[in-house]
Chains A and B, each alone.
Chain A
Amino acid sequence: MSKLTLKTEGDTHIVVTRRFAASPEAVYRAHTEPKLIQQWLLGPEGWTMPVCINEAKPGGKFRYEWANAKGHSFYITGEFLELQPYHRIVHVERMHLPDVTPDNHVETTFDPDGAGTLMTIRMTLPDAQARAAMLSTGMERGMEASYVRLDGLSLHATA
């Protein structure tokens, strides 16, 4: 059984859940401390994150830049709206590919789950079109990416 779930909700949301064998404090820190973020938030093989700026405070900004050996690069920028240490982060972000994608409003919660943590990421895109664009392109960095069951619709043709 995969630990990861990703589903769409309504017309504008994407909800991702993942369980971790670590405390909410550790998982929260791995999402806010640049030295930790740079170790795992990398996406496909061959990409690194040379720039990781993260001012984890309300109103603080962040900027993550990815690059690969072929000289390709892209980055995201965002602002923190709310931070409740070790429990909840609310921020907005957009990708620069280099064209700027619509703002993605993201709420991430870290809940105790047995000895570990259940992380829930709830993304809200401005409209259905923006969500479709995000699912079909711009997801190379792997973070927003994933398997989607469209409102419970199982995409298997019978023919």
Chain B
Amino acid sequence: MSTLDSAFSALADPTRRGILARLAKGEATVMELAKPFHMTQPAISQHLKVLEHAGLVVSRVDGSRRPRRLAKPAIDAIDQWLAMLRKALEKNYQRLDQVLAAMEKQKEGEGK
């Protein structure tokens, strides 16, 4: 739960969502990430730190480069959590569908 908390907090920032969107297309270095966002490398590094702490992004060492990529387990966990929440919400509304159908039936009965 605490991992999900920090994951959602990390996602609250538009720049960090942008970084994730970029990484969804493939791994990238800090320099490559900094360019489209018109931000300094230290600023991007700060955002990456939050994303790594939340378990959303991981890095690997490639010589002097440290490309980042999305961490699949964390992303899957968020997907699963949201799917569960959607199910709970949809369940309420399916119950509401039935309530509305019963209201309609009652109205027809009264009209006769």
Which segment of A78-86, A91-99, A126-134 sits at the interface? Answer: A126-134
Q: Are A20 and B100 in contact (CB under 8 A)?
A: yes
Q: Are B5 and A137 in contact (CB under 8 A)?
A: yes
B53 at interface, CB cutoff 8 A: no
- Interface hits, B5-52 → A, CB 8 Å: 5, 7-9, 11-14, 17, 20-21, 24-27
The residue on B at minimum CB distance from A137 is: B5
In the bound complex, residues from chain A placing their C-beta under 8 Å from that of B61 are none
Q: Are B103 and A136 in contact (CB under 8 A)?
A: no
- Which residues in A have some Cβ–Cβ distance to B below 8 Å? 2-4, 6, 11, 16, 18, 20-22, 26-27, 29-30, 36, 39-45, 128-129, 131-133, 135-137, 139-140, 142-148, 150-151, 153-159
Given known contacts A30-B99, A36-B103, A158-B26, what 16 new A-B pairs fall within 8 Å (CB)? A3-B93, A11-B12, A29-B103, A40-B96, A41-B92, A129-B9, A136-B4, A136-B7, A140-B88, A145-B85, A146-B85, A146-B90, A150-B17, A151-B14, A158-B24, A158-B25
